[in-house]
Amino acid sequence: MLDTLASVLSPPHRAGLPFIAAAALAGLVLGLFSTTLLWLGIAAALFCAYFFRDPARVTPTRAGLVVAPADGRVVSVAEAAPPAELGLGPEPRWRVAIFLSVLDVHVNRSPVDGTVTRIAYQPGRFLNAADDKASEDNERNGLVLAMADGRTLAVVQIAGLIARRIVCEVREGEALAAGQRFGLIRFGSRTDLYLPPGVAPLVAEGQRMVGGETVVADLHSPEPRRFGAVR
């Protein structure tokens, strides 16, 4: 209970401060004309503060672990070729697609220790992010991370039906630690993780992810892909 309360009351990400301030200011101005509008403005500001919350996470640091890049629900675990703009070739890799509802934390985190070797933005549509076609058709921003052993993986931030703004706060050549924040997507979205070739995911469709904490794969393990059942 205390952990849940601490998460809800976490300070907001700085990218959300303009939205919180705008909602609060609008409420104060409109409140001069209507008490109802005042309370609506306050409610909007509180929702923005909740949406942009940025709680601390405890990231497992054992070498070889790949952690979830986002909170949310796994909507797809499938082999797919990474987006062409990332330059990773046409060979399929395991892709774990995570859907973020408006109630999820929207801060994106690095899944591994690695160096950003490419950042590629691709304009597109704003389909429902839970739809599998969102990976190909929606507006997106992809990062390629190179690890110390030379292997690469990719994280793709995908805009959703409501989300219209992808925020990426890192640059090519920057070194990231596993669990480190690198951006966010505003108001409903999806985050796809493309694992290195030959690495199988240890999560199943429908499973809930905690960004920076949930282990998605183990680079050192020969364990095959896991399956899950709702019980």
Catalytic residues, by residue number, are: 189
The CA distance from 67 to 57, in Å, is: 11
Pairing type for strands 93-100 and 215-218 reads unpaired
The CA distance from 93 to 116, in Å, is: 19
The CA distance from 69 to 65, in Å, is: 12
Cα angle 158, 164, 166; round to 5? 50
Answer whether 217's CB lies under 8 Å from 194's CB. Answer: no
The CA distance from 104 to 193, in Å, is: 17
SS3 3: helix
Q: Which residue, chain included where needed, has tokens 């995911």?
A: 201
User: E strand or H helix at 45, and its extent?
Assistant: helix 35-51
The CA distance from 143 to 168, in Å, is: 9
Answer whether 97's CB lies under 8 Å from 110's CB. Answer: no
Reported residue count of the chain is 231
Q: Which residue, chain included where needed, has tokens 């101005």?
A: 29
